[in-house]
Every structure is written in structure tokens, then in C-alpha cells.
């Protein structure tokens, strides 16, 4: 965290709800990467109590006519821009309700066209956490949130599965969109990225003789790792790079 933005948002939440328990999941989402933000939310939300209010902001369209929304699922409330950020959560959780944030009386004023996270979403999160009725904060809508393409690999005619890198953590591990439960995943499988063919292993230390390995990460997706090293730096990986699982 190198800017004041996160601290300012915390201040607004605490101003509305001094007893709020705030947990920062990550501030390392690549700038403007809605898909990476959606993945980070997917990887985190099930670890929290079911009535948690999740403040989710990756918002390149801030200040435009994109909606701000509240979404309710059995695993919590989600507040943020309606730009696909909730896609991967909603792929796995039923949507119980959706509200458009259109009640300026509850916002911080003046509202900056570049910082809705502070002026619209943060007050909404605080009031929801204080048990405010969602109907008091927005208008219920039958129009569901925008969705990104599903987070999954695509099966090719030869039985292999094509995916892409969706997240790179600070260890340099590259998480892919291929679910580790995909048919054919075993220790006999290989994952290709560029010219590298990585064996599938169970732990990071199983094949220290290999420069890069693939394994099931804690989020349930295949990831590429360099034993005792940094796979992303070693291979020059970036979010969006294609990968292929060969059963």
C-alpha cells in the first residue's frame, strides 16, 4: 500500500461504524484488471463468515454510468461497481438479491467522480455492516450483475485443456483458470506454457530437480511454481498468458 486511498476508505468506514472489523484481503490486484480482482474475491470470500460485507473495488469505469450495486448471496453481501467483478463468486453462489445504489442521502459528499470507493461504496459497506436494510440503501433490481466469461479451461479435441494465467502472487506462482479437478489431472499430467513443459506434483518440494512444476493451489486451480524460486520471473509470465494441460 503506497497511496492514501486505502487508509482514507478505512477512515470513512470507521466514521460511520466505529466498531467495524476491517480485514484487507489484497491491494495487489493489477491496475484495471477486473478479471484478476474477480479471481481474488473468489479465492477469499468463502473464508469469511456468511454475513460478511465484502467491499470490492476494481473500477476503471469510475464516474461513468456504470452501476454501483449491492449483491446478496448465502455467503455474504458484496458492494462495488457492476462491471463483472462479482462474476466468479456468482458462478458458484446463487444471487439472492441485487440493489442499485441510487440513494445519495447515504453517500459522502461531495462525491468525487474518481473515488466512488470512498464516497459511495465505503458508506454503504459501513451501513450494511451496522444492519441497515439494503432497501434503504438502493433500489432492488431484476437486472442481474454483469458477468465476465466463466473462469474455466476449455477442452480441446485431443483431450487437453486450454486455460490462461489469471493471477500471479508475490511468490511468483502463476495461478491458471484450469480447475485442479479437471478430468485427467494426475501426476502423469504436464502443463505447457510457452516452451516449458511442467510436471504436475502434489507439493512445491516434490520435484526440486525441475525448474518449474504445476500443482493444485489452495484456491483449487492449477498453478505454476518454481521450487524455491519465482516462476513468473523465470518464465517472464504475465496475466493472460495461455497454458495447456496435457493429461
pLDDT band at residue 153 using 50, 70 and 90 as cut-offs = confident
What pLDDT was estimated at residue 1?
64
User: What integer best gives the mean pLDDT of the chain?
Assistant: 94
State mean pLDDT over 11-21: 96
93: pLDDT strictly greater than 90: yes
148: pLDDT strictly greater than 70: yes
- Express each pLDDT in 156-208 by its tens digit: 888 889 999 999 999 999 999 998 876 667 778 899 999 999 999 999 999 99
- Residue 167 counted as domain residue: yes
C-alpha 149: how far from its chain's center? Answer: 14
Range of the domain at 51: 5-140
Candidates 71, 44, 56; CA nearest to 116 is: 56
Asked if residue 85 lies in contact with residue 34, where contact means CB atoms within 8 angstroms, the answer is yes
133: pLDDT strictly greater than 80: yes
pLDDT band at residue 123 using 50, 70 and 90 as cut-offs = very high
Residue 159 belongs to domain with CATH number: 2.40.30.90
What pLDDT was estimated at residue 183?
63
Domain boundary residue among 106, 140, 174? 140
Higher pLDDT, 107 or 186: 107
Domain boundary residue among 77, 106, 140? 140
What pLDDT was estimated at residue 222?
93
What pLDDT was estimated at residue 184?
65
Q: What is the percent of the chain where pLDDT is above 70?
A: 98
What pLDDT was estimated at residue 211?
94
Residue 39 belongs to domain with CATH number: 3.40.50.10790
164 and 200 together in one domain: yes
pTM: 0.90
Taken in order 99, 104, 108, 112, the sign of the CA dihedral is positive
C-alpha cell at 235: 518464465
- Express each pLDDT in 60-87 by its tens digit: 999 999 999 999 999 999 999 999 999 9
97 and 181 together in one domain: no
- Residue 145 counted as domain residue: no
159 and 50 together in one domain: no
What pLDDT was estimated at residue 247?
81
The DSSP code sequence of 51-105 is T-EEE----TTTTSSPPEEEEEETTEEEEEESSSTTHHHHTTS---EEEE---GG
Amino acid at each position: 500500500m503506497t497511496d492514501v486511498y486505502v487508509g482514507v476508505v478505512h477512515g470513512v468506514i470507521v466514521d460511520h461504524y466505529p466498531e467495524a472489523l476491517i480485514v484487507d484481503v489484497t491491494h495487489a490486484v493489477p491496475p484495471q484488471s477486473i478479471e484478476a480482482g474477480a479471481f481474488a474475491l473468489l479465492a477469499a470470500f468463502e473464508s469469511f463468515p456468511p454475513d460478511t460485507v465484502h467491499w470490492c473495488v476494481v473500477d476503471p469505469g469510475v464516474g461513468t454510468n456504470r452501476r454501483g450495486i449491492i449483491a446478496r448471496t448465502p455467503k455474504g453481501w458484496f458492494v462495488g461497481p457492476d462491471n463483472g467483478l462479482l462474476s466468479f463468486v456468482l458462478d458458484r453462489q446463487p444471487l439472492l438479491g441485487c440493489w442499485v445504489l441510487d440513494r445519495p442521502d447515504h453517500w459522502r459528499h461531495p462525491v468525487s467522480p474518481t473515488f466512488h470507493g470512498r464516497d459511495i461504496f465505503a458508506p454503504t459497506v459501513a451501513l450494511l455492516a451496522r444492519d441497515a436494510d439494503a432497501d434503504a440503501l438502493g433500489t432492488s433490481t431484476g437486472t442481474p450483475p454483469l458477468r465476465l466469461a466463466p473462469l474455466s479451461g476449455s477442452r480441446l479435441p485431443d483431450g487437453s485443456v486450454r486455460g490462461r494465467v489469471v493471477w500471479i502472487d508475490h511468490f511468483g506462482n502463476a495461478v491458471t483458470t484450469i480447475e485442479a479437478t479437471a478430468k485427467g489431472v494426475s501426476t502423469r499430467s504436464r502443463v505447457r506454457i510457452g516452451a516449458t513443459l511442467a510436471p504436475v506434483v502434489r507439493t512445491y518440494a516434490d520435484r526440486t530437480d525441475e525448474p518449474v512444476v504445476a500443482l493444485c493451489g489452495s484456491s483449487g486451480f492449477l498453478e505454476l511454481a518454481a521450487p524455491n524460486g519465482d516462476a513468473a520471473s523465470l518464465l517472464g509470465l504475465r496475466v493472460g498468458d495461455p497454458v495447456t494441460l496435457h493429461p
